[in-house]
């Protein structure tokens, strides 16, 4: 009886990738960005004059060094004021942002309230911190209070959005489970949602404090108190060596805060 | 709590899971819900809790001699033990157990925490389930089996009339599986609380359940209810509308 010969099964061959399969959203976005950058190059041009670029740069840098450390004491005093402005502004902003963020979180509030709250937050974010500070100086005069008000409004725009995102990122199954055993919506929020959003809220607040400390150094330019006032004065009088001392002090505090922030964030990292 | 099924039908999408389920489970019974994966055991438990819409028929829950009412009206008297536990991972074991009684307390009274007497009670339950030493730890720091015991403790602390336990011993070793099912059985026998419990282990069904409700993967109307004969002296269930 003849036996049928069976050939061993061939392993399937991988079909080649079609060109359109490479057009992922990420790739297309990158391509558009690259094209936009190339087109935008036209807009970047100098004055057309012959300039000694390196000469100019080295002369300017020479003005900065060595830094004049005689103003260090005064600078540290101003730094204290800057720190106070940043801390108070961040605290007030986080308190105001929490209810706004709850209103703006799609998983917590009804659609119409989310739309209104998000519009308010977008409007606040549209205005840069320097302009908020200018407005505040116009209202309460050139003092640290203006700095606090200016930075507070700016921070509300960001913290409100970040906190809302934090609330939306929490898995809703746990609060739903609590509702299933008869918990009030507020109890479901307090014990099911808030404990999971809290580490993120803390982390964002810390980030905002770091940001505000840097911003508080700049808003002094418009008279809103802090170390920026000194920066402005030394720039106006061309005292670049003193200007440099102020910059070094800002660099030191920002670096310190960065390390401390990293350390703290690792300990309250969201789970 | 009595549980009455009247021609209950459950559907997932276009597929029938159960049809024509007719039964009356009197208070104080331990019902094991059995059947292969995907047959609709969890959906049946959700339907009893009022969280899964019935395709046909009605489920009535009656407590303290009252007439049968819809599950939604008895929400705080039902303690689900979810398959995915649904514990609040960033809170302590103790707080998670205390959450069992949220339905009995106003939100204003729980804003600042729970009374010391209840904390003591919750701690005793945790200790009973071998978790006393971890009471102040956060739930996410525990193993799966330990978390499952916390979920059981939360349900026991609720003191409900009806337990809906979806595989409550899936991650437990033999000792704690026996301990947990023993506690649920005690709730049924001594306190006349009704227990519906999804179980996969036939030996555990025979050891702890009064009734086995089996669902058939091949036929939605192929469900069956079997009374489990027990040691002498144990009462048999009567009045099952088979």
Tell me the per-residue pLDDT of A80-114, one tens digit each, with 9 for 90 and over: 888 888 899 999 999 999 999 999 999 888 899 99
Query: What tens digit of pLDDT does each residue of B145-201 get?
Result: 999 999 999 999 999 999 999 999 988 889 999 999 999 999 999 999 999 999 999
Taking a C-beta distance cutoff of 8 angstroms, is the pair B12, B66 a contact?
no
Domain count, chain A: 1
Tokens of B39: 């047959």
Query: Which residues does chain B have within 8 Å of residue A198's beta carbon, measured at their own beta carbons?
Result: 90
Taking a C-beta distance cutoff of 8 angstroms, is the pair A220, A226 a contact?
yes
Residue A164 forms part of a structural domain: yes
| pLDDT score recorded for residue A269 | 62
Determine the distance from the C-alpha atom of residue A17 to the mean position of all C-alpha atoms in its chain, rounded to a whole number.
Answer: 40
Range with the lowest mean pLDDT among A217-226, B2-11, B214-223, B233-242? B233-242
The residue ranking higher by pLDDT, A131 or A49, is A131
What is the spatial distance between Cα B155 and Cα B183, in angstroms, rounded to a whole number? 11
| pLDDT score recorded for residue A31 | 94
Determine the distance from the C-alpha atom of residue B236 to the mean position of all C-alpha atoms in its chain, rounded to a whole number.
Answer: 21
| C-alpha separations of B111 from B118, B136, B138 in Å | 15, 19, 19
Residue A115 forms part of a structural domain: yes
Task: Tell me the DSSP string of A240-266.
Answer: HHHHHHHHHHHHHHHHHHHHHHHHHHH
Tokens of B52: 């899964």
The residue ranking higher by pLDDT, A167 or A219, is A167
All residues at 6 or more sequence positions from B135 whose CB lies less than 8 Å from its CB, including other chains: B92, B93, B94, B123, B126, B127
Interface contact A191-B95, CB threshold 8 A: yes
Gap from A87 CA to chain B (nearest CA, Å): 27
Tokens of A79: 């730094």
Taking a C-beta distance cutoff of 8 angstroms, is the pair B18, B220 a contact?
yes
Q: Residue A167 is inside which H or E element, if any?
A: helix A144-169
What is the spatial distance between Cα B37 and Cα B47, in angstroms, rounded to a whole number? 17
Tokens of A12: 């399937």
Q: How many CB atoms lie within 10 A of CB B36?
A: 12
What is the spatial distance between Cα A175 and Cα A162, in angstroms, rounded to a whole number? 21
Tokens of A30: 């990158």
Query: Which of B42, B86, B122 should we substitute to test contact with A (largest number of A Cβ atoms within 10 Å)?
Result: B86
Helix (H, G, I), strand (E, B) or coil at B2: strand
Range with the lowest mean pLDDT among A56-60, A265-269, B100-104, B230-234? B230-234
Query: What tens digit of pLDDT does each residue of A147-190 get?
Result: 888 889 989 999 999 999 999 999 888 998 898 888 899 999 99
Furthest-apart CA pair in chain A: how many Å? 110
Helix (H, G, I), strand (E, B) or coil at B61: strand
Residue A12 forms part of a structural domain: no
Residue A145 forms part of a structural domain: yes
The label of the residue with tokens 């310190």 reads: A256
Phi, psi of B78 (to 5 degrees): -110, 130
Tokens of A64: 């900065």
| pLDDT score recorded for residue B235 | 43
What is the spatial distance between Cα A98 and Cα A176, in angstroms, rounded to a whole number? 22
Query: Which of A183, A186, A199 should we substitute to test contact with B (largest number of B Cβ atoms within 10 Å)?
Result: A183
Interface contact A174-B49, CB threshold 8 A: no
% helix, strand, coil for chain B, step of 5: 40, 25, 40
Sorting pLDDT into bands at 50, 70 and 90, what band is B231?
low
Domain of residue A170: give its range: 74-268
| pLDDT score recorded for residue A24 | 86
H-helix segments, B129-196: 144-158, 174-191
- Taking the model in full, what pTM does it have? 0.75
For residues B47-72, give the mean pLDDT: 86
DSSP B195: E
| pLDDT score recorded for residue A2 | 56
Judged on CB neighbours under 10 Å (0-12, 13-18, 19+), B100 is buried
Q: What is the ipTM of this complex?
A: 0.81
Query: What tens digit of pLDDT does each residue of A26-70 get?
Result: 999 999 999 999 999 888 877 767 777 888 888 888 888 888 888
Residue A246 forms part of a structural domain: yes
What is the spatial distance between Cα A181 and Cα B99, in angstroms, rounded to a whole number? 9
Interface contact B82-A178, CB threshold 8 A: no
For residues A119-133, give the mean pLDDT: 88
| C-alpha separations of A230 from A17, A76, A88, A185, A212 in Å | 61, 11, 21, 51, 17
Residue A180 forms part of a structural domain: yes
| pLDDT score recorded for residue B236 | 43
Phi, psi of B193 (to 5 degrees): -95, 145
What is the spatial distance between Cα A206 and Cα A211, in angstroms, rounded to a whole number? 9
Q: Residue A100 is inside which H or E element, if any?
A: helix A72-104
| pLDDT score recorded for residue B232 | 52
Q: How many CB atoms lie within 10 A of CB B200?
A: 15
Q: Cα torsion for B121, B125, B130, B134, to the nearest 10°?
A: -50
Query: Which of B82, B103, B113, B147 should we substitute to test contact with A (largest number of A Cβ atoms within 10 Å)?
Result: B103
| C-alpha separations of A254 from A132, A213, A261, B24 in Å | 22, 8, 10, 70
**Contacts A–B by Cβ distance under 8 A:** 66
Residue A28 forms part of a structural domain: no
Q: Is the pLDDT of residue B105 over 70?
A: yes
All residues at 6 or more sequence positions from A78 whose CB lies less than 8 Å from its CB, including other chains: A220, A226, A227, A229, A230, A246
What CATH number does the domain containing A205 carry?
Answer: 1.10.3720.10
Nearest CA-CA partner of B152 in B61, B87, B198: B87
Average pLDDT, chain A: 86
For residues A128-136, give the mean pLDDT: 86
Residue of B91, B103, B106 lying closest to A191 (CB–CB): B91
Q: Is the pLDDT of residue B205 over 80?
A: yes
Tokens of A173: 């199954």
Interface contact A181-B75, CB threshold 8 A: yes
Q: Is the pLDDT of residue A5 over 70?
A: no
Residue of B89, B99, B106 lying closest to A178 (CB–CB): B99
Residue A236 forms part of a structural domain: yes
Beta bridge partners of B226: B212
Gap from A212 CA to chain B (nearest CA, Å): 29
Strand order in the sheet with B30-34: B78-81, B162-165, B194-198, B30-34, B211-214, B224-227
Gyration radius (Cα) of chain A, Å = 28
| pLDDT score recorded for residue B230 | 66
Q: Is the pLDDT of residue B242 over 60?
A: no
| pLDDT score recorded for residue B238 | 39
């Amino acid at each position: 009886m003849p036996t049928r010969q069976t050939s061993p099964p061939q392993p399937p061959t991988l079909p080649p990738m079609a060109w359109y399969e490479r057009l992922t959203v990420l790739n297309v976005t990158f391509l558009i960005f690259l094209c936009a950058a190339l087109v935008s190059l036209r807009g970047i041009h100098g004055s057309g004059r012959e300039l000694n670029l390196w000469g100019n740069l080295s002369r300017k840098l020479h003005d900065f060094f060595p830094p004049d450390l005689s103003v260090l004491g005064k600078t540290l005093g101003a730094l204290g004021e800057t720190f106070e402005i940043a801390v108070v502004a961040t605290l007030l902003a986080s308190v105001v942002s929490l209810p706004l963020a709850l209103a703006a979180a799609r998983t917590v509030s009804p659609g119409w309230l989310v739309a209104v709250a998000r519009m308010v937050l977008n409007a606040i974010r549209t205005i840069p911190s320097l302009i908020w500070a200018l407005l505040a100086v116009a209202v309460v005069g050139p003092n640290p209070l203006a700095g606090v008000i200016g930075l507070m409004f700016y921070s509300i725009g960001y913290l409100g959005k970040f906190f809302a995102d934090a609330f939306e990122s929490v898995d809703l199954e746990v609060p739903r489970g609590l509702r299933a055993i008869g918990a009030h919506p507020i109890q479901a929020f307090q014990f099911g949602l808030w404990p999971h959003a809290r580490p993120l809220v803390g982390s964002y607040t810390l980030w905002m404090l770091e940001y505000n400390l840097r911003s508080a150094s700049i808003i002094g330019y418009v008279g809103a108190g802090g170390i920026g006032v000194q920066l402005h004065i030394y720039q106006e009088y061309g005292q670049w060596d003193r200007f440099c001392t102020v910059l070094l002090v800002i660099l030191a505090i920002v670096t310190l805060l960065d390390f401390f922030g990293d350390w703290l964030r690792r300990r309250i990292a969201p789970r | 709590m009595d549980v009455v099924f009247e021609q209950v039908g459950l559907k997932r999408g276009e597929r029938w899971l159960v049809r024509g389920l007719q039964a009356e489970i009197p208070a104080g019974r331990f019902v094991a819900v059995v059947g292969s994966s995907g047959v609709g055991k969890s959906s049946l438990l959700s339907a009893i809790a009022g969280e899964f819409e019935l395709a046909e028929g009605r489920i009535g829950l009656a407590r303290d001699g009252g007439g049968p009412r819809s599950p939604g009206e008895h929400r705080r008297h039902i303690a689900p033990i979810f398959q995915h536990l649904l514990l609040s991972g960033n809170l302590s074991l103790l707080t998670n157990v205390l959450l069992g009684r949220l339905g009995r307390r106003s939100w204003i009274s729980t804003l600042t925490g729970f009374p010391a007497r209840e904390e003591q009670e919750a701690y005793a339950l945790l200790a009973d389930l071998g978790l006393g030493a971890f009471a102040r730890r956060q739930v996410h720091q525990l193993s799966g089996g330990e978390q499952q015991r916390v979920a059981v403790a939360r349900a026991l602390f609720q003191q409900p009339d009806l337990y809906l336990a979806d595989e409550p011993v899936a991650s437990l070793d033999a000792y704690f599986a026996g301990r947990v099912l023993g506690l649920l059985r005690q709730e049924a026998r001594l306190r006349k609380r009704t227990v519906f419990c999804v179980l996969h282990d036939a030996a555990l069904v025979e050891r702890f359940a009064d009734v086995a409700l089996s669902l058939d993967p091949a036929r939605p109307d192929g469900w069956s209810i079997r009374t489990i004969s027990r040691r002498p002296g144990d009462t048999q269930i009567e009045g099952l509308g088979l």
